[in-house]
Amino acid sequence: MLHKDIFEELMNEEELEKTVSEIAGRINNDYRDKSLVVVGVLKGSIMFLADLFRKITIDDCQLDFMAASSYGNSAVSSGNVRITKDVDCNVKERDVLIVEDILDTGNTLSFIKEHLLSKGASSVKICTLFDKPARRKKPITADYTGRTIDDLFIVGYGLDYSEHYRNLPYVGVLRSEIYS
């Protein structure tokens, strides 16, 4: 394992595979016979999204991306969300599923959800691999959640600290001395 000295493993590759399959099964059931746009939030969702999207079996399913941030290169959200890349496809009168790596303060996902609804989406639901409710600042919940975690700083499988550790094939808890 890479970087074992700076974090402890939280979720291994097998656990990730099982969790992604379970979430995909629920999505396939819920969106059967619907027109779905899956919107991945860059960059953190990329690993989760790639694995999840391959397991979605809905015929009328489109993939798009957004990029938004309230963190920059910090470990703490500024609360000011900015969209740096908007969706390219038309979401008007379509069901939209936002896929994100982690639901933390809720600032970014609340902003994105409202943004997509303002573009005329019929519905907007949220799918997140990790939910960290202890840090919530906005009243938002995910419709699909892989795992609820305590207030831990996690990296790997797309999650980063200052653009590092995204490439790890598992998720680990970063030691506080690294980001403090």
What angle, 0 to 180 degrees and rounded to 10, lies between the N-to-C axes of helices 46-55 and 13-30? 50
| Element housing 38 (H / E) | strand 36-42
Which residues, other chains included, contact 28 with Cβ-Cβ below 8 Å and sequence gap of 6+?
55, 56, 57, 58
Contact 66, 92 (CB under 8 A): no
Which of the following is catalytic: 95, 101, 104, 131? 104
Which residues, other chains included, contact 25 with Cβ-Cβ below 8 Å and sequence gap of 6+?
55
Residue whose tokens read 């998720």:
171
* Three-state secondary structure call for residue 62: strand
Is position 131 annotated as part of the catalytic site?
no
Contact 88, 64 (CB under 8 A): yes
Q: Residues with catalytic annotation? A: 104
